[in-house]
Amino acid sequence: MNINMTLIGQTIAFAIFVWFCIKYVWPPISNALHERQKKIADGLDAASRATRDLELAQERAEQTLRESKEQASQILEQANKRSAQMIEEAREQARAEGERLMASARSEIEQEVNRAKDELRAQVSHLAILGAERVLEASVDEKAHRKLLDELAAEL
Amino acid sequence: MAAGNEVSSTYYIQHHLQNLTFGKHPENGWSLAHSAEEAREMGFWAIHLDTMGWSIAMGLLFIWIFRKAGKAATTGVPSGLQNAVEMVVEFIENLTRATFHGRNPVIAPLALTLFVWILLMNTLKIIPVDYGPELFKRLGVEYMKIVPTTDPNATLGMALGVFCLIIYYSIKVKGAGGFAKELSLTPFNHWALIPFNLVLEVIGLLVKPLGLGLRLFGNMFAGEVIFILIALLPFWAIWLLDVPWAIFHILVVTLQAFIFTTLSVVYLSAAHEHH
């Protein structure tokens, strides 16, 4: 229990340990602690930000879904309308075409009838003249009776 | 160790409280002391090999553990040793932040060293009092007091270290003139009272390391003496007192380490402050 050089020795040992601690022990541990603290704070920050982002994204997704649904129904409606219209148009066209065909056929038939009538008329007049010539045997002045005959033919 | 008569129990106590002293004896020259008287006769030029050895061993243990944890320190999830070390470091960091006002990168590591080192040295006390002396006696070493903090040289040595830092920072922060002014003009700011102030302040200054060292020494030494006295009981009765005392000492060991550290930080904080 005497005070002796141990006192000095202990002070020297103390100084060396403190120096070593300052130099090699404290900095890495303290740095790691502070860095981790920062990392955790950042992580928490990021988490809360992510939650907010998620909420926003969900909202946006919902909105987009709603919009697209609306659009789809709109497109469907339009398509329905358009198809009905197309059917109506086709029907109309078909009817018009049919009428046109019928009309042209009718006019052709009429023409044919007229032509046949004309031909018949010409032949009848010729035959009538021929017959008259034969009946009369006399020379009938064709020129003199031409007008009469034509009238006759027209009456056929 | 049950003692039969008074002489052997006195011898037992004295033996357990004697340090292994190596020094310059007036007659035998540089040698190990073979008795308390010889150790006393060596005077100042002697060294307690057990105190130095065990304290340095504990210091190295501290350095080794904390350096290992420091090298492996990651910013990720800590585990095992790193967790424990970080707890201590954080505890010290909070302590210094609470008591030390100002910026000084030395204070926190200093407090850490003091706390862990003293804690480890104090903890040696939980080892039964007979183990150290008896074991080394068998090995041929006459004395072995394994708890360095029961040696006033160790505690006052550390206090001396802190005292040097107090002086150093006082002069560094306030300047030699400022420090001298603080010593001579407080608490009474009048030229006529300078001698009075000086005496008061110098005593106040010197009491700091003395109190620091003696408080730790006193607590540890008293505890050690009680342990030795308990060990004198019959062997079947020892545990009755020894166990409660040891459990109580877990508190004392930690508390004394904490007090030494906190007071050192407080004194150093005061050294940084202008009055």
Q: How confident is the model at residue B2 (pLDDT cuts 50, 70, 90)?
A: very low
Query: Mean pLDDT, to the nearest integer, of B11-30?
Result: 86
Q: How confident is the model at residue B77 (pLDDT cuts 50, 70, 90)?
A: confident
Enter the DSSP assignment of A24: I
Establish if B45 touches chain A: CB-CB under 8 angstroms.
Answer: yes
Residue B242's domain spans which residues? 2-271
Establish if B130 touches chain A: CB-CB under 8 angstroms.
Answer: no
Establish if A19 touches chain B: CB-CB under 8 angstroms.
Answer: no
Out of B102-106, B161-165, B239-243, pick the least confident: B102-106
Residues 78-107, chain B, touching A (beta carbon < 8 A): 78, 85-86, 89-90, 93, 105-106
* B4 pLDDT higher than 60: no
Please list every residue in chain A whose beta carbon sits closer than 8 Å to the beta carbon of residue B75: 32, 35-36, 39
Residues whose CB falls within 8 Å of the CB of residue B165, separated by 6 or more in sequence, listed in order: B106, B110, B268, B271
Looking at the 3D structure of chain B, how many domains does it have?
1
Please list every residue in chain A whose beta carbon sits closer than 8 Å to the beta carbon of residue B164: 11
CA torsion sign for B223, B225, B231, B237 is: negative
DSSP bridge pairs for B48: B21
Model pLDDT, residue B34: 84
Enter the DSSP assignment of B126: G
Question: What whole-number distance in Å separates Cα of residue B129 and Cα of residue B134?
Answer: 9
Residues whose CB falls within 8 Å of the CB of residue A73, separated by 6 or more in sequence, listed in order: none
Establish if A1 touches chain B: CB-CB under 8 angstroms.
Answer: yes
* B134 pLDDT higher than 60: yes
DSSP bridge pairs for B31: B23
Out of A10-19, A68-77, B21-30, B261-270, pick the least confident: B21-30
Please list every residue in chain A whose beta carbon sits closer than 8 Å to the beta carbon of residue B56: 13
Q: How far is A55 from chain B (nearest CA, A)?
A: 29
Query: Mean pLDDT, to the nearest integer, of A34-48?
Result: 93
Model pLDDT, residue B3: 41
> Widest CA span of chain A, in angstroms?
194
Model pLDDT, residue B16: 85
pTM check: above 0.95: no
Question: What whole-number distance in Å separates Cα of residue B54 and Cα of residue B3?
Answer: 28
The total of other beta-carbon atoms located within 10 Å of residue B240's CB is: 11
Q: How far is B9 from chain A (nearest CA, A)?
A: 19
Closest by Cα among A76, B204, B27 to B35? B27
Model pLDDT, residue B63: 93
CA torsion sign for B6, B8, B9, B13 is: positive
- Give the three-class secondary structure for B187: coil
Closest by Cα among B51, B3, B6, B46 to B26? B46
Q: How confident is the model at residue A87 (pLDDT cuts 50, 70, 90)?
A: very high
Percent of chain A with pLDDT over 90: 65
Which chain A residue has its CA at the smallest distance from B56's CA? A13
Instruction: Take residue B141 and report the two structure tokens written for it.
Output: 């070493």
Burial B186-206 (b: 16+ CB within 10 A, else e): eeeeeeeeeeebeebbeeebe
Percent of chain A with pLDDT over 70: 95
What DSSP assignment string belongs to A83-116?
A: HHHHHHHHHHHHHHHHHHHHHHHHHHHHHHHHHH
Establish if B63 touches chain A: CB-CB under 8 angstroms.
Answer: yes
Model pLDDT, residue A141: 65
